[in-house]
């Protein structure tokens, strides 16, 4: 059955999209969660809706306008965050509401806009992915993975300890904007697959799942990417077998189920680990006492 | 030796209009081991951050190896140990990953981690005796051990100058002694050290210069305070702040007889 499916072009496109999203979202998500900005993806997702609607209104590709508007939104969010004022919290909220309301309003007056179209961007419509969409998604995915590979070491230092990054001469402002822009690109990649309202779930849940089982940053990211792919491909398959299942929601629920499972497994892993380390600690302590 | 690591003239910093540093003149030459002393809120931590350019000056100027912080490029020459570990968030990081990040100023963007990087990290871990914990998450370590991780992170970068903000605050006696031993090794190899301290404790013998800060001003700059009388007794617990308070009198009080 799966072999027959693989020969269908529609399914092939959807599978490629799911794979790319499953890889990119958790990779970027690891940095974002480490920086305690888990909701950044949500914020950008809200703003991106205005971008999508602008695409319909002006007759350009919605993905393109979404990229532009969500990058502007991400940069605005980063600038507010960097100012670090208490009012920044409210400013961000205002930006999010504006994004959603603006999107809905523009979509309603756009010539090709309809509630069905709006829903397909809010909640994803992986089955309607076109070859052109795939090219855009693939190009963005290459950009995102490239950024993670080239700047990963610096982004780790930045997200771990911003002051240390400054005292090491890293371009802190540039790197902060880079993370925001990368998150914006990821939101647009994931928009067609899980939808703008659930984009952030794929950036956060696989990371939360992975860290139940890991000790280090690198392994957390690697495992999160694996979980991301499993969830997105699994959700796609579920919706292919039963047409009643919406893929976006299936992907997110699958990811959540994985998290609950990892929570249980992680308890055992940690229990084993504390016993193990308390055993290895003892001889070390004695050496230090003698010295 | 004549090269100065830090040189601040008339350094002023204020937060929300409240002056924190009120005209600091401080030059630290290569090879010096300087302790910045002072009570809580005296401005010593702000001074350290201003010396590094982390806190902008509202007046005066400061130079890092002769260059203003904004134009400074040789950041590998500086090893900064902040006051406490600021683990960014929920994602775990191993001790080795955090220590390895101390190499960042020596690494170029497209080059992979080299064997030199790896051996520097291994040596730094060994120096603070955390080799056995290298693959454990930093978050699982005790406060004293986390402080050692930060020291190892600075060591890994093999800088010329170490800047440490309260490296001994709230850490166990063992870690304090370890820090003292590590620092004396660094000093012997000609490194420069600037550290903020409330109490010198086991670090006291290696300090070459004490700078006392009070209300954002340098009120003493010279030989470090030596414990006397009752306070010199081994095991004496420095709970009180006499080292700071004694300066209220003439500056000879640092080493002279109590009057």
Q: Identify whether A229 is part of a domain.
A: yes
pLDDT at residue B175 is higher than 90: no
Q: What is the mean pLDDT of chain B?
A: 84
- pLDDT band (50, 70, 90) for residue B198: confident
Cα A230 from Cα A113, distance rounded (Å)? 33
User: From CA B86, how far away is CA B98, in angstroms rounded?
Assistant: 11
pLDDT at res. A72:
95
How close A165 comes to chain B (CA, Å)?
Answer: 9
Give A217's contacts in chain B (Cβ within 8 Å): 91-94, 97
- A16 found inside a domain: yes
- Residue-wise pLDDT tens digits, B114-143: 899 999 999 999 999 999 999 999 988 888
Is A287 a domain residue? no
- Residue A37, pLDDT score: 85
**A216/B87 CB distance under 8 A:** no
Model pTM? 0.85
Asked whether residue A77 is domain-assigned, the answer is yes
Query: What confidence tens digit (pLDDT) does each residue in A202-248 have?
Result: 999 999 999 999 999 999 999 999 999 999 999 999 998 888 888 99
Question: Would you call A169 an interface residue with chain B, using a CB distance cutoff of 8 Å?
Answer: yes
In this prediction the ipTM stands at: 0.84
* Sheet of B33-37, strand order: B78-81, B161-165, B192-197, B33-37, B209-214, B217-222
Give the pairing of strands B18-29 and B4-15: antiparallel
Residues of A in contact with B101 (CB under 8 A): 153, 156-157, 160-161, 164
Residue A288 falls within a domain, yes or no?
no
Q: How far apart are CA A70 and CA A51, in angstroms?
A: 7
Using 50, 70 and 90 to split pLDDT, how confident is the model at A281? very low
What CATH number corresponds to the domain at position A88? 1.10.3470.10
The stretch B231-236 carries a mean pLDDT of 47
Q: Looking at residue A53, what is its pLDDT? A: 93
A220 shares contact with chain B (CB less than 8 Å): yes
Domain presence at residue A283: no
Instruction: Identify the residue with better confidence: A188 or B250.
Output: A188
Position B229 pLDDT exceeds 60? no
Report pLDDT for A118. 87
Mean pLDDT across the stretch A106-113?
A: 84
**Domains parsed from chain B with CATH numbers:** 4-84+93-226 (3.40.50.300)
Q: Which of A223-227, B4-8, B167-171, B235-239 has the lowest mean pLDDT?
A: B235-239
**Of B82, B88, B135, Cβ closest to residue A35:** B88
pLDDT tens readout for residues A118-175: 888 898 888 888 888 888 889 999 999 999 999 999 999 999 888 899 999 999 999 9
Q: Are A25 and A145 in contact (CB under 8 A)?
A: no
Residue B244 has pLDDT above 60, yes or no: no
Report yes or no on A289 lying in a domain. no
For residue B16 the two structure tokens come to: 């929300």
Residue A42 lies in domain: 2-276
Residue B255 has pLDDT above 50, yes or no: no
Residues A51, B242: Cα–Cα separation, whole Å:
64
> For chain A, how many residues are written?
291
Question: For the segment B21-55, what is each residue's pLDDT rounded down to a tens digit?
Answer: 999 999 999 999 999 998 888 889 899 999 999 99
The three-point CA angle A74-A75-A80 to 5° equals 100
pLDDT grade, residue A269 (50/70/90)? Answer: confident
CB < 8 Å to A280, chain B = 132
Check if B174 contacts A (Cβ < 8 Å).
yes
B118: closest CA of chain A, how far (Å): 14
User: For chain A, what percent of residues have pLDDT higher than 70?
Assistant: 91
- pLDDT at residue B246, rounded to an integer: 42
Partner B contacted by A67 (CB < 8 A): no
Tell me whether A289 touches chain B (CB under 8 Å): no
Distance CA B83, CA A144 (A): 34
pLDDT band at B85, cuts 50/70/90? low
**Model pLDDT, residue B24:** 93
Give residue A4's pLDDT.
Answer: 75
Query: Is the pLDDT reported for residue A272 higher than 70?
Result: no
B222: closest CA of chain A, how far (Å): 27
pLDDT (average), residues B82-86: 72
Pairs of residues, one from chain A and one from chain B, whose beta carbons lie less than 8 Å apart: 112
Number of domains in chain A: 1
Q: Is residue A265 part of a domain?
A: yes
- Can you give the pLDDT at residue A88? 66
What pLDDT, on a 0 to 100 scale, did the predictor assign at position B83?
Answer: 83
């Amino acid at each position: 059955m799966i072999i027959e499916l693989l020969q269908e072009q529609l399914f092939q496109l959807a599978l490629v999209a799911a794979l790319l999203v499953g890889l990119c979202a958790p990779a970027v998500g690891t940095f974002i969660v480490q920086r305690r900005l888990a909701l950044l993806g949500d914020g950008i997702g809200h703003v991106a809706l205005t971008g999508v609607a602008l695409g319909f209104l002006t007759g350009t590709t919605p993905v393109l306008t979404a990229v532009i508007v969500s990058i502007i939104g991400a940069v605005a969010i980063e600038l507010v965050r960097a100012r670090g004022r208490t009012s920044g919290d409210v400013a961000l909220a205002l930006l999010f509401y504006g994004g959603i309301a603006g999107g809905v309003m523009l979509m309603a007056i756009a010539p090709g806009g309809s509630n069905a179209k709006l829903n397909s961007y809010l909640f994803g419509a992986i089955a309607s992915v076109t070859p052109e969409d795939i090219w855009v998604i693939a190009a963005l995915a290459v950009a995102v993975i490239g950024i993670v590979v080239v700047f990963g070491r610096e982004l780790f230092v930045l997200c771990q300890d911003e002051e240390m990054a400054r005292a090491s001469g890293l371009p802190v402002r540039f790197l902060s904007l880079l993370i925001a822009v990368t998150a914006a690109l990821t939101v647009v990649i994931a928009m067609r697959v899980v939808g703008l309202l659930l984009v952030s779930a794929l950036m956060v849940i696989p990371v939360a799942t992975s860290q139940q089982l890991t000790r280090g940053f690198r392994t957390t990211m690697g495992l999160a990417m694996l979980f991301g792919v499993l969830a997105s491909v699994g959700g796609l398959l579920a919706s292919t077998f039963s047409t009643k299942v919406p893929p976006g929601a299936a992907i997110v629920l699958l990811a959540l189920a994985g998290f609950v499972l990892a929570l249980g497994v992680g308890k055992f892993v940690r229990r084993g680990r504390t016993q193990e380390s308390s055993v290895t600690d003892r001889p070390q302590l004695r050496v230090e006492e003698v010295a | 030796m004549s090269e100065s690591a830090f040189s601040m003239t008339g350094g002023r910093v204020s937060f929300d209009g409240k002056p924190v540093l009120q005209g600091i003149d401080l030059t630290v030459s290569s090879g010096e081991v300087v302790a910045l002393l002072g009570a809580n809120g005296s401005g010593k931590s702000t001074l350290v951050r201003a010396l590094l350019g982390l806190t902008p000056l509202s007046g005066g100027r400061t130079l890092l190896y002769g260059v203003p912080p904004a134009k400074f490029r040789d950041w590998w020459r500086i090893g900064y140990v902040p006051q406490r570990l600021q683990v960014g968030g929920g994602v775990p990081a191993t001790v080795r990953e955090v220590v390895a990040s101390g190499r960042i100023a020596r690494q170029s963007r497209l080059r992979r981690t080299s064997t030199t990087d790896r051996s520097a990290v291994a040596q730094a871990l060994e120096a603070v005796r955390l080799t056995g914990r290298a693959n454990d998450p930093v978050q699982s370590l005790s406060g004293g051990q986390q402080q050692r991780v930060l020291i190892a992170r600075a060591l890994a970068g093999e800088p010329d100058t170490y800047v440490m903000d309260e490296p001994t605050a709230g850490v166990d006696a063992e870690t304090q002694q370890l820090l003292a031993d590590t620092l004396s090794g660094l000093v012997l190899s000609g490194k420069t050290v600037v550290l903020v301290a409330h109490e010198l404790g086991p670090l006291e013998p290696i300090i070459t210069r004490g700078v006392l800060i009070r209300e954002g001003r340098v009120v003493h700059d010279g030989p470090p305070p030596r414990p006397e009388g009752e306070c010199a007794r081994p095991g004496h617990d420095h709970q009180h702040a006499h080292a700071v308070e004694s300066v209220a009198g003439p500056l000879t009080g640092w080493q002279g007889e109590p009057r």
